[in-house]
Structure 1
């Protein structure tokens, strides 16, 4: 039996290890039985509970619900890792690249001086991404 250390209880990597242990051969039968599909209702429920905590202006409840959402992310990522679909590093890299790409007013030379300008720019970039365009579209190679 593995008892998590205090460090594991406070770090992202430690939490990942706890989730991997829960899904491992000596882990929890319920956790091992889960799939992306079976976890869908839990993901939406936890997101809804986080929204409720925000609406209630309840920081303690929000902390708990964000933890529950993080657990959902970790479970889905662990399942994907086990299926050799993707790993946590891939998820982190994907969102980091998206944030940099969609904030050219911070990480490049674009200008967006108001929240409305940022939203307009974000929506334009998102639309271009969905249409297969990139920042290099039209630039000769």
Structure 2
């Protein structure tokens, strides 16, 4: 079974001089339609209840995250580790009822708390 580190290496090799011409020529802009298409295929697998296909399509979405992150890394913008760190920080920050001392009693309270934290974060951004 392949590992996340191997996926990073595969993605980097596909983008390298020894890699695939198609992968090398991709940009954030050119990949937008592919991410949208892969996300749509995830929705279709969910609607069909097709778990085998859902697993495959989630892998395709993950690859879109990987290749976009690889391009960003090549440009000195951010890395996949930055993406992972960012989403982990966000999930911990937006779930103080799981990772902190806040108590909630319902899904609705959890959703309201999430939205409140999200609004506070947006207000702090320039």
Map Cα deviations across residues 90-132 of structure 1 (whole Å, 9 max, x no partner).
1011001000100011111111121111111001110111111
Other-structure match for 2:96:
104
Determine if the alignment matches structure 1 residue 36 to structure 2 residue 32: no
> Quick one: distance in 2 between partners of 1:109 and 1:79?
39
Name which of 42, 64, 79 aligns with 1:50. 42
Q: Give the distance between the partners of 1:113 and 1:26, measured in 2 at CA.
A: 55
**In 2: Cα distance, 1:48 partner to 1:96 partner:** 25
TM-score (norm 1): 0.86
- RMSD across aligned positions (CA): 1.1
Give the whole-Å Cα distance in 2 for the aligned partners of 1:113 and 1:93.
Answer: 29
Higher RCO (CA < 8 A, seq sep 6+) = 2
Task: Tell me the number of residue pairs that the alignment of Structure 1 and Structure 2 aligns.
Answer: 125
Specify which structure has the higher proportion of helix. Answer: 2
> Which structure's CA Rg is the greater one?
1
Partner of 2:68: 76
CA distance in structure 1 between the partners assigned to 2:100 and 2:50 by the alignment: 37
The gaps in structure 1 that reach 5 residues or longer are: 1-6, 134-141
Runs of 4+ in 1 over 4 A off after TM superposition: none
Unaligned runs of 5+ in 2: none
> Structure 2 length normalisation: TM-score?
0.96
Summarize the alignment of residues 101-140 of structure 1 with structure 2, pairs less than 5 Å apart.
101-132=93-124
Which residue of structure 2 lines up, in the alignment, with residue 62 of structure 1? 54
Task: Tell me what 1:90 maps to.
Answer: 82
Q: Is 1:16 the equivalent of 2:8? A: yes
